[in-house]
Amino acid sequence: MQPKPAATLFRRAVVALALALSAGAAGAQIANSRDDLDISARTAVYIVGLSLLGGLVSWIQRVRAGLIPPWSLLSLVGELCTSAFSGFLCYLLCDTAGLSVKLTMCLVGVAGHMGTRAIKAFETMAERKWGALYGGGNSPDGKA
């Protein structure tokens, strides 16, 4: 026997209310905890600046090695975007680990210089730590 439409609507309303309350409780926990993304504008400028500087150095090294032409604006923009992203990821990891500001800024510059290699290193680290969540604990090189 199928439930009546009013009962179905009531069940859906109860489920929606339960989801809203649980989301509200999770939001309250987050609001009461330290906001990790609340960084000053000065810190953000340092993060982005050091990341971009690292990316620029990497691009210059590739041009000098003859791997890319010096007039390739697309390569430069791609390198800078990747560097900014990897530098910001590095900052978040360093901040979470509680490293000093000076060491964090050094690592941000290095991560900016590494670009995609830094992102791959972060990915490998995440796979080792949380591999069971996405992939069943496979090794970082993709082999079972």
DSSP characters over 98-112: T--HHHHHHHHHHHH
End-to-end CA distance of the chain: 48
Q: Which pLDDT score is estimated for 25?
A: 46
Q: Which pLDDT score is estimated for 135?
A: 60
**CA–CA gap between residue 53 and residue 70 (Å, rounded):** 17
Compute and round to an integer the Cα radius of gyration of the chain. Answer: 23
Q: Which pLDDT score is estimated for 51?
A: 92
Question: What does the domain layout of the chain look like in residue ranges?
Answer: 41-133
pLDDT (tens place) for every residue of the chain, 144 residues total: 555 555 454 455 444 445 444 554 444 444 445 555 678 888 888 899 999 999 999 999 989 999 989 888 898 999 899 999 999 989 988 988 999 999 999 999 999 999 888 888 888 888 888 876 666 555 555 554
How much is the pTM? 0.62
> Nearest Cα to 108, choosing from 58, 59, 49, 26?
49
Q: Which pLDDT score is estimated for 136?
A: 54
83 near 61, Cβ under 8 Å? no
50 near 113, Cβ under 8 Å? no
